[in-house]
Amino acid sequence: MVVASSPTPNRIEKINSFDVPIIDLSCKRSLVSELVVKASEEYGFFKVINHGISKDITDRMEEQGLNFFAKPALEKRQAAPPSPLGYGTKNIGFNGDVGEVEYLLLHTNTQSISQSSKSISNEPLSFHTQLKKKLHVFLFLEKNLDSCVVNDYIEAVRNLACEILELMTEGLHVHDNKCVFSDFIRDIDSDSLVRLNHYPPYKDIMDTSPSSQTNRIGFGEHSDPQILTILRSNDVGGLQILLEDGTWVPVPPDPIAFCVNVGDTLQVLTNGRFKSVIHRALANSVKPRMSIMYFAAPPLHACISPVPNTITPEKSSLYRPFTWSEFKKTAYSLRLGDTRLDLFKAQTDENFA
């Protein structure tokens, strides 16, 4: 049985400016690797520049997203409801979380779904239903978005995620297999996703929903369950990360950088050395904000456990082995702010004292 952690107690919020680590990927590789590890350990968050993704690719993807969200609501709902793929608005997940956001959630691997569809007649009815929903979303995507633009963007950010993950393994001195993390998302069955979030201007929220004047949350505080997130937004602020001392740090938009944040699964793979960052988005601007996230995830059947060199006589494994499917199911059963990883901690003698 899954038991959610206790809700985060009300706290007096501290919001301060902070110099978010910015890492130039064109610098000497050994230095970049060291900086990536340091930022992942201290904050679970950093920005990268000179990442090799052309402005044309990002501009075209942003244009596609903005064009989609500008469509009439009835037309956008052709991709709804999100289950979890598709179009959604207000409701975030299935457990009562809400925000001032509309979004489009897409799987990144059309080839995997295409292969699955060949054996659909031999699969249980439940799988048949889910596959039909997935295929419906992809048909909608082909009709309403330029699939070439989306695929180009996915390929570019996937390659960037792999590069960053390999820099991490080098910095962690995983000499036997530098692709131990990146192989998860190169796998044809990778469960990686792309999500586009669109936040209306706060002035529009106030005009249409007076009760929301005291609640400017676009997307509530949470960590990402996947391995790694590559995020980009337009020139409107709203993203904030939470430091260990309880301080919220605004992350200014950057036209040339990508934001990178450590997810829950990477925290497990590094045996707690890297920190899964808690973050949120505020709907507090006079202009609409759109962000595009690539969630790098392993295949559903992949077994997740700390890599061997993070386990030492002084530091045993903090987490029990689990599959991504098991962890994902748990994440979807909880609310945004619940602590998922506590449910997967390794049992020690102290647990039975």
Catalytically annotated residues: 289
**Residues listed for the chain:** 353
CB count within 10 Å of CB 346 equals 14
Helix (H, G, I), strand (E, B) or coil at 96: coil
Q: Cα–Cα distances in Å, from 36 out to 64, 235, 271?
A: 31, 25, 17
Q: Which two tokens stand for residue 1?
A: 């049985």
Q: Is 9 exposed, middle or buried (0-12, 13-18, 19+ CB in 10 A)?
A: exposed
Find, among 53, 64, 59, the residue nearest to 257 by Cα: 53
The residue written with tokens 């975030």 in the block is 92
What is the distance between the alpha carbons of residues 276 and 60, in angstroms, rounded to a whole number?
30
State both tokens at 31.
């230095």
**What's the DSSP call for residue 167?**
H
- For the sheet with 258-262, list strands across it: 22-24, 45-49, 258-262, 228-233, 289-296, 193-199, 97-107, 86-92
- Are 64 and 196 in contact, with CB atoms under 8 Å apart? no
Amino acid at 186: R
